[in-house]
A and B are shown apart, each in its own frame.
Chain A
């Protein structure tokens, strides 16, 4: 496989593709709404109508507007159909021949779509994730080739550094710096790990990337391997994502067959193989040190850092560990150049971020927006606002993040601004809450999650989350006093400052941010101080 072969595959595929492409979402969200039967009926309709020579139906990844699935989109006219049923699906094909399409017509120019900026999700919903040829036809694996033949590993690292890309898993650590550290570490054996253990309640960005465009992640990992000097990569995916796992397996197999993964990639001296490791249901394994323990076959417990994985990671070797979305940004950066990437976003947060927009909002789904867009633009314009009500707060960052009140909706979405208002970028969950939402209950919901997911290794996280949960329950049951409220705050700070890993450090954030912005809701549930209440002996 060389450059000419790559272009040949792309050309053959472009010629093979028919002039009208009917894209039917076959990702997890739309599947749950019966999209597989929709696709079956679309296929049948094409066969029956005899349009097979110019029309093809393609099962594609997520188109983003998950709240209105199953979605069907027709190119080149860019027609969007929402909530398609197996019964009315054939009419979409009939409409191509002058008939009338029965399903609800969507507005592909709605701000939900038009305000997006797609870098990572550029090809999702357009390419068949189960066919590598489609990915190659849209320019796939050209960045890897470019990196291998036109750049030295140092140049790749410096390009990523210059792009200003920061970790998309939530922490926001500069990706280039991490790559440079691993690249500079001595040692023959190094590893690249892709963290696909997405576990925040309400977040499904990484799942959609893996299901919709698995090759984009594989290409990013291979480029990373070349840059830092690793010949072996692992993708750690949670077992709850069977479709993502299945598509990744297929993608790896296809890439190997073409000589794009494995030994002597593109006939260069660079070897890189990728293995999949499947999580066993622990949220804490999204924490990098716990994830590494889990890959090693041990109990997924976090271990103290330093040493950081970049120094001593998988089996004690220097290890580069990045999130799915981070790796998905690599190929576009190499293709378009760091300068292009720098032009997108804010001063300290470059590029785009995918959010899973859920909660009390009209338009649910996945959006990819440039950094610096305000929460108001996302919630009110793209999300269409709260149905029959007003926004009370927006929760970002899942159980590690916080609640941002409606008064701060003009906060720009970037790493530093979100930290400043007491929340965080997190992996990309964004839950909108309306006036009916009880913020104390929200805090308790997230605490219940952390209480169940703490590994139990360090004392503050293991027992502190249990006590915080019971304090919140006591408050909600209107049995708590002011002393309990003070205790809640003191304990929150203690757990935050003394826990071993990110899970415990961030677990009290939902409590602290709701205490900060909605103290009244707590105070309304508080009983008179015990000094005034009768003491019975």
Chain B
């Protein structure tokens, strides 16, 4: 296994061959904002928050899937990137109904955190106030599509870790939504094991536990790692 040395924001970083820019940056203590990325499941490079500039390449590259190479010079926080990241968050806020004050995830929401991080205090684009519906047919959980940002973390977690593939994306463009089962109400999907991983994976308040109210959503991210270890390494305690 060989090592690649590169420069991220002026700082020299050594990374294992095949590592992504995101992994290399994390190891070097450099923070790159992400939203659709979730450690442990495949990366899809859909949210475009982790775009970085690489010298000598005339397009912006997603850090979550771009592999490091020798002598690569990466800039992760240029004024252009800052502007584009803020616009991504602005576009997301105008796309759905993200009203923090009445959301279960208030104070514990990655979209909210990112809005603060990129300095988005208002959106330049008109709110679209979609009416996408809520599905509370599942006995334990609910999904509010109006808060969904289509990051597909739930889809990947359910497919790749739980192996149930309850979720997928239906339709396209503005009409795209997270679909359960064969476009059935979530509660009727027999494949669902009610494991709750999608609730933990969801960055916003779109998928939630029933009975939680404003600001009460808490995630147990460590559970994912525990489950994988239990299955693969037979470590039953945590």
Give the interface of A toward B (CB within 8 A).
Answer: 282, 284, 299, 301, 303-304, 306, 451-460, 462-467, 470, 487, 490-491, 494, 497-500
Contact = CB atoms under 8 A, between A and B. Distances in A.
A156 to B, nearest CB: 32
B173 A455 contact: yes
A462 B47 contact: no
A304 B60 CA distance: 12
Contacts, number: 91
Interface string B31-45: 000000000000011
Contacts of B128: 466
B150 interface: yes
A279 to B, nearest CB: 13
B91 A500 contact: no
A454 B150 CA distance: 14
Contacts of A487: 124-125
6 contacts: A456-B176, A459-B47, A463-B92, A463-B94, A470-B126, A494-B87
A458 B46 CA distance: 4
Interface hub of A452, A497, A498, A500 (most chain B Cβ within 10 A) = A498
B65 interface: yes
Interface residues of B, number: 34
B46 A500 contact: yes
B197 interface: no
Given A460-B91, A494-B87, A454 B45 contact: no
A480 to B, nearest CB: 12
A299 B124 contact: no
B88 interface: yes
Given A498-B51, A500-B45, A500-B48, A459 B88 contact: yes
Given A462-B173, A463-B94, A467-B94, A498 B168 contact: no
Contact of B172 (A455, A459, A490, A500): A455
B95 A497 contact: no
A419 B65 CA distance: 29
Contacts of B62: 304, 500
B45 to A, nearest CB: 4
B1 interface: no
A317 to B, nearest CB: 19
B47 A456 contact: no
Interface in B138-167: 149-150, 152
A499 B47 CA distance: 9
Given A457-B44, A466-B128, A497 B174 contact: no
A452 B45 contact: no
Contacts of A467: 91, 94, 125-126
A460 to B, nearest CB: 6
Centre residue among A458, A464, A487, A490 by max chain B CB count within 10 A: A458
A498 B46 contact: no
A466 B60 CA distance: 22
Nearest to B126: A470
B101 interface: no
Contact of A498 (B48, B92, B152, B172): B48
B171 interface: yes
Given A304-B65, A498-B51, A456 B84 contact: no
Q: Which 3 A-B pairs have the closest CB atoms?
A: A456-B176, A463-B91, A454-B173
Contacts of A464: 91
A276 B87 CA distance: 42
B171 to A, nearest CB: 7
Given A304-B62, A498-B88, A460 B150 contact: no
